[in-house]
Structure 1
């Protein structure tokens, strides 16, 4: 996976773009199901998992605890984005220095 890759959820409306990705393979899921490419057909029979239904917010960046994976939400939905089973958290904005 590389920066710029666009993915969509197979179980809700969520769409994301990868901002930064770690070396090696990582399984990105949304709503408990693997995310798919923008042009891929969603597998039938998948449903939104209640354990992964915190939702996503448009324009927010989501990161792992280690910060090695970052995605940008380009379309919000009901599912939570996760990487290798770890639900991603909203990236907090860094405070600007004071201008005294």
Structure 2
């Protein structure tokens, strides 16, 4: 497969094969060497979009305006925080359980 996405500007976002109805998510132009090598599976567009909606529902993708001063990589107006409050709570709970298990005689 030709690497036709190379000419796009950073970031690439969603790459769609209209003939097949499949898509692939690119976070940056540097992903193309991996994702466009012919070995990666393209997914139905609906699957990709469902995944993005799930990430929005979980707070893993946020819409912000130009006044947001966060340091996350941006695909205007979207950002992908490094972690969410829910991620932090789950990890702290898991760490607490691990600590408790390791402390038992």
Superposition TM-score tier, normalisation by shorter sequence = under 0.3
Bigger relative contact order, structure 1 or 2 (CA pairs below 8 A, ≥6 apart): 1
Bigger helix share: 2
Larger Rg: 2
Q: Calculate the TM-score normalised by the size of structure 2.
A: 0.23
